[in-house]
Chain A
Amino acid sequence: SQPLAGRQAAELQSKVVPSKQILHSDNMEMEPETMETKSVTDYFSKLHMGSLVYSCTSKRKSK
């Protein structure tokens, strides 16, 4: 049965020679997402500007 074992070994060896499809690892590297940002300081400064404008106009009105 030595020739048989040899043939089996050869068959086995040929079985493991892979195709690129088999080895494709699904490891695709994506770029990061971009999130939209808001900041309290943006509105904070506007808020102050707003109240400043308000106080000026109300002062003017009261005159």
Chain B
Amino acid sequence: RMEASCLELALEGERLCKAGDCRAGVSFFEAAVQVGTEDLKTLSAIYSQLGNAYFYLHEYAKALEYHHHDLTLARTIGDLLGEAKASGNLGNTLKVLGNFEEAIVCCQRHLDISRELNDKVGEARALYNLGNVYHSKGKNVASAGTHDPGELPDDVKNALQKAANYYEENLKIVTELGDRAAQGRAFGNLGNTHYLLGNFRSAVLAHEQRLLIAKEFGDRSAERRAYSNLGNAYIFLGEFETASEYYKRTLQLARQLKDRAVEAQACYSLGNTYTLLQDYEKAIDYHLKHLVIAQELNDKIGEGRACWSLGNAYTALGNHDQAMHFAERHLEISREVGDRSGELTARLNLSDLQMVLGLSYSTNNSMLSESHVVDNSLNGTRPRVGRRHSMENMELMKLTPEKVQNWN
């Protein structure tokens, strides 16, 4: 009687998660755990699904807890395939939490068991996960410094090179297996790894493959991702016209998919691209579009960035009144969000504009002199502190709907 109700609850949890309602699914799984079962394999499946549901809900501490329970259980009952799966999930969760060394151990265990069991599908998935851990590790160390793609310290380069090797190994297997969806994922992340390594031509080749597969599947989100990544790579190849074409396709798809945040990002990228092309009217047009959406989404950091970019573009056009307006707004917002380097940049811009306009500008003089002491490289450099977490964290937010499709 009790067994049946634990199973019934778990089955309802599964159904809800598959339908995309992880929050409700979690309640049923937790109720199932409360009721309990003597069948440890069933319990292991419940823990695993609870872990995944919490992962999709971005509650990684909980995800870690349940995947850990699952691993312990799988080992206890000597379920090797179950242990491999639990290790892989634990590895992915540790990666998101930034615990890369432990993540590598777990993903390696997933790989070793899969090879032992001659499970090609599992082996390929473990290789992809390992690639992802090394990619994140490399990116994480890189973002702690102020490096641009291609200019990396050795430890970052090593991690990224390992990621590239794992993605290549994964590609070999999934190509043999004829798994096009997996190929698409590997090409996308391989492309991004080449991009960080500064291999922009290789990045383009990989993203072109990703684009092809996205079109095969009619996967418009993946298509949009490929366009955006292609745009980024062409910027660093110095081919700004091509980059602008890809960003325009990104924008088009973002609008079709009704994703305002992605639309804003595309406008921002286009504004920057037209700045590089020194077409400041178009740059202003796109930065204004970005500004409107940032305000709509109450994205203060994005709004500050838009104001800064607009100030620069208007300065380039010699429209110092408008430049002053946006520099002032940039200063206000930087203060509001506590972005110190943005604040200093804004003060520098304001003092420059003030000199040009010959105005006595009511800015705190001590702050102004302080800002001049600060390294000049701050001026115009993208602020590292208080960067636009709002838009940049979209990657995580977007995971949920796509993940749910992968539930089976």
Taking Cβ atoms with an 8 Å cutoff, the residues of A that contact B are: 1, 5, 8-9, 12-13, 15-18, 20-44, 46-47
Q: Quick check: is B215 within 8 A (CB to CB) of the other chain? A: no
Q: Contact between A40 and B14 (Cβ–Cβ < 8 Å)?
A: yes
Q: Quick check: is B312 within 8 A (CB to CB) of the other chain? A: yes
Q: Contact between B379 and A15 (Cβ–Cβ < 8 Å)?
A: yes
Q: Point out the residues of chain A lying under 8 angstroms from B278, CB to CB.
A: 17
Q: Point out the residues of chain B lying under 8 angstroms from A9, CB to CB.
A: 318, 320, 356
Contact of A29 among B143, B184, B225 (CB under 8 A): B225
Q: Point out the residues of chain A lying under 8 angstroms from B222, CB to CB.
A: 31
Taking Cβ atoms with an 8 Å cutoff, the residues of B that contact A are: 7, 10-11, 14, 39, 41-42, 44-46, 48-49, 52, 55, 70, 82, 84-86, 88-89, 92, 110, 122, 125, 128-129, 132, 135, 143, 148-149, 182, 184-186, 188-189, 192, 195-196, 210, 222, 224-225, 228-229, 232, 235-236, 238, 265, 268-269, 272-273, 275-276, 278, 312-313, 315-316, 318, 320, 352-353, 355-356, 358, 379-382, 387, 391-392, 395, 399, 402-403, 406-408
Q: Contact between A25 and B268 (Cβ–Cβ < 8 Å)?
A: yes
The answer for the CA separation of A37 and B186 in the assembled complex, in Å, is 20
Residue of A nearest to B143 (CB): A26
Q: Contact between A36 and B85 (Cβ–Cβ < 8 Å)?
A: yes
Q: Contact between A16 and B192 (Cβ–Cβ < 8 Å)?
A: no
Q: Contact between B399 and A32 (Cβ–Cβ < 8 Å)?
A: yes
For the complex, would chain B's binding face be called helix, strand, loop or mixed by DSSP majority?
helix
The minimal Cβ–Cβ distance linking A61 to chain B, given in whole angstroms, is: 23
The minimal Cβ–Cβ distance linking B80 to chain A, given in whole angstroms, is: 13
The answer for the CA separation of A7 and B127 in the assembled complex, in Å, is 58
Q: Contact between A18 and B148 (Cβ–Cβ < 8 Å)?
A: no
Q: Contact between B315 and A13 (Cβ–Cβ < 8 Å)?
A: yes
The minimal Cβ–Cβ distance linking B234 to chain A, given in whole angstroms, is: 10
Contact of B355 among A8, A39, A46 (CB under 8 A): A8
Q: Point out the residues of chain A lying under 8 angstroms from B235, CB to CB.
A: 20, 23-24
Contact of B14 among A15, A23, A24, A41 (CB under 8 A): A41
Q: Contact between B392 and A26 (Cβ–Cβ < 8 Å)?
A: yes
Contact of A38 among B82, B92, B196, B228 (CB under 8 A): B82
The answer for the CA separation of A32 and B268 in the assembled complex, in Å, is 23
Q: Contact between B189 and A31 (Cβ–Cβ < 8 Å)?
A: yes
Q: Contact between A18 and B49 (Cβ–Cβ < 8 Å)?
A: no
The answer for the CA separation of A41 and B381 in the assembled complex, in Å, is 55
Q: Point out the residues of chain A lying under 8 angstroms from B184, CB to CB.
A: 31
Q: Contact between B229 and A15 (Cβ–Cβ < 8 Å)?
A: no
Q: Contact between A34 and B42 (Cβ–Cβ < 8 Å)?
A: no
Q: Contact between B382 and A22 (Cβ–Cβ < 8 Å)?
A: yes
Q: Contact between A40 and B46 (Cβ–Cβ < 8 Å)?
A: yes
Q: Contact between A16 and B44 (Cβ–Cβ < 8 Å)?
A: no
Q: Point out the residues of chain A lying under 8 angstroms from B52, CB to CB.
A: 35, 37
Q: Contact between B229 and A28 (Cβ–Cβ < 8 Å)?
A: yes
Given contacts A16-B316, A31-B188, A33-B132, contact A24 B149 (CB under 8 A): yes
Q: Contact between A38 and B192 (Cβ–Cβ < 8 Å)?
A: no
The minimal Cβ–Cβ distance linking B390 to chain A, given in whole angstroms, is: 12
Some 12 contacts from A to B, beta carbons below 8 A apart, are A5-B358, A13-B318, A25-B269, A28-B195, A30-B395, A31-B210, A32-B402, A35-B406, A36-B88, A37-B49, A37-B407, A43-B42
Q: Contact between B45 and A33 (Cβ–Cβ < 8 Å)?
A: no
Given contacts A32-B399, A44-B42, A46-B41, contact A27 B228 (CB under 8 A): yes
4 A-B pairs with least C-beta separation: A36-B85, A29-B225, A23-B272, A38-B45
Q: Point out the residues of chain B lying under 8 angstroms from A23, CB to CB.
A: 235, 272-273, 275-276, 382
The answer for the CA separation of A13 and B318 in the assembled complex, in Å, is 7
The answer for the CA separation of A52 and B143 in the assembled complex, in Å, is 58
Q: Contact between B316 and A17 (Cβ–Cβ < 8 Å)?
A: yes
A8-B352, A24-B236, A36-B85 given; 13 more Cβ-contact pairs under 8 Å: A17-B316, A20-B235, A23-B273, A29-B225, A30-B188, A31-B184, A31-B188, A32-B185, A35-B406, A36-B84, A37-B49, A37-B408, A39-B14
Residue of A nearest to B51 (CB): A35
